[in-house]
Amino acid sequence: MGKTLFEKLWAMHAIADLGGGVGLVLIDRVLLHERTGGVALESLRDAGRAVLAPRQTFVTMDHIVDTFPGRSDLTIMPTGTQFITATRNAAHAAGLTLFDIGDPGQGIVHVISPEQAIVLPGATLVCPDSHTGTQGAIGALAWGIGSTEAEHALATATLRVRKPRTMRISVTGRLGTGVTPKDLALHLLARFGAAGANGHIVEYAGEAVRALDVEGRLTLCNMATELSAFSAIIAPDERVFEYLKGRAYAPKGAAWDAALEAWRMLFSDADAHFDLDHVVDAADVAPMVTWGTSPQHSVALDQAVPAFDGESGRDTRDAHDRALAYMDLSPGQPLAALPIDAAFIGSCTNARLSDLRRAAAILKGHRVAPHVTAICVPGSTAVKAQAEAEGLDAIFRDAGFEWREAGCSMCFFAGGESFGRRQRVITSTNRNFESRQGPETRSHLASPETVAASAIAGAIADPRQEIPA
């Protein structure tokens, strides 16, 4: 019997079997951000413990820091500064690499890590952030943890991990024109539900996945946590190796050659067994949008808000009704042409250079509807710089978008900024939970293309349709 990629990585990192399906696993990289990093580092220090592998630990400012031009340590939330300064001081004291405000390496943790090759194929990487599985797109075993577990990883370079079950989702065929990795992620959520991969490590495979560029793969893996997965992974290939080559923390010279040889062995064997094995046809995927308050509340953009389906086993009636009331929608109501108040392009899901390029291609020569507040927040300072070098910032600005500094921003009310009560937002982010983008905001998740097309229309719009001049 062959082994899955996950099983190979687990075996490479298993220091000891602790019994009952729990292993002591070697951790190669720890990433921290200012919302939970400061707490973890201070708590570690208070316990008189040191960071065991400081050179393998990286810290960035993304979760609390605001994204207004000319920003400082101040945030709208009066106490935000404490998170920033506590994390900075603790990172310096522990001798960690910090990508601080103003540093060209600063940005959203899951954007800067691949960008600088901090994450590498075959590595184990943890971060006190649920979207850490994003980095599985590089072929790493990367997963999100809590702050207490982060302290454990920092202090011992290990974690005590309950071994996840394995799941493969093979996507056959090719995504259609104008259908994006984000639409595929939302399609999988609609199909498998918010608990569809609960406790599993999901390996994405198949022709449609192999055809994705690295940034598209990062988007796909990003949303596995919305399936309640332990994490996601994609076998690394030449496209990934090409992407990593020459980046800041990638191995160089002979070390690169040795690494490459090892990385080429990272795939699931043909006869490997997965606990769950699903096949999805890429031809079934259309541009998607969410209607409710869970990412599983996704439908094709040309469909209507669904009625409660007790047979689906996905929701309780209570949860479905509450979602409708919160979103101020009724079953049967079409989503296309639903008026919006705001549009947001950003987050670890969809704020990489290719996302901004595709959104800009739609925005070019158009203006957002007069009543729409539109904001673009690049995923990293490097993405922002490259976008500006290509003139994308001018396209966003000319269209009526605010052009911001890099950070998590209004994916979740970072630093206390909000779209406002009962405002309806079309957003390229990953969660549409109640009050996620600020108190009482109503979030509709979609691809950056759909956000751009909707911003122009002033209502939810299909990006594949020609925009009236």
Partner 1 sequence: MSGTPFDRLTAIALPLVRDNIDTDAIIPSREMTSVSKKGLAGGLFAGWRYLEIGGRDPDLAFVMNDPLYAAARILLGGRNFGCGSSREHAAWALAEYGFRAIVAPSFNPIFRGNCIRNGIVPVELDGAAVAEIAARVATDPAANPVTVDLLAGTVSLPDMGPKSFVLEAESREMLIEGLDAIELTRKRQGEIDAFREKDAAARPWIYL
Within positions 231 to 250, which residues make up the interface with partner 1, using CB under 8 A?
Answer: 249
From candidates 3, 74, 130, 170, binder to partner 1 by CB under 8 A: 130
User: Which residue lies nearer to partner 1 by CB, 133 or 400?
Assistant: 133
Rounded least distance, CB 415 to partner 1, Å: 10
- What ranges in 104-166 are assigned the alpha helix state H? 109-115, 147-156
- 283: helix, strand or coil: helix
Measured between alpha carbons, how far is 109 from 352 in angstroms, rounded to an integer?
12
Contact 42, 86 (CB under 8 A): yes
Q: Looking at 10, 99, 230, 419, which residue binds partner 1 (CB under 8 A)?
A: 230
Facing residues of 99 across strands? 60
Do 463 and 345 contact (CB within 8 A), yes or no? no
Give the residue from 411, 403, 406 showing the smallest Cα distance to 111: 406
Cα end-to-end distance, the chain, whole Å? 59
- The mark string for 317-336 relative to partner 1 (x by CB under 8 A, - otherwise) is -xx--x--------------
26 binds partner 1 (CB under 8 A): yes
Q: ∠ CA(246), CA(250), CA(255), 5° rounding?
A: 100
Binding to partner 1 in span 140-169, by CB under 8 A: 144-149, 151-152, 155-158, 160, 162, 164
**Pick 140 or 208: Cβ nearer partner 1:** 140
Task: Judge contact between 428 and 346, C-beta under 8 A.
Answer: yes
For partner 1, the binding residues in 375-404 under the rule CB under 8 A are none
Give the count of residues interacting with partner 1 (CB under 8 A): 83
| 3-class SS letters over 419-437 | CCCCCEEEECCCCCCCCCC
Q: Does 129 bind partner 1 (CB under 8 A)?
A: yes
Write each residue from 62 to 101 as x if it is in contact with partner 1 (CB under 8 A), else as -, in one continuous string: ---------------xxx--xx--x---------------
Place of tokens 């691949």: 114
8 Å CB contact between 344 and 380: no
Nearest-approach distance from CB 23 to partner 1, in angstroms: 10
Q: What residues from 178 to 207 belong to the interface with partner 1 (CB under 8 A)?
A: 194-195, 198-199
Interface pattern 260-279 for partner 1 (x via CB under 8 A): --x-----------------
For partner 1, the binding residue among 7, 24, 173, 467 (CB under 8 A) is: 24
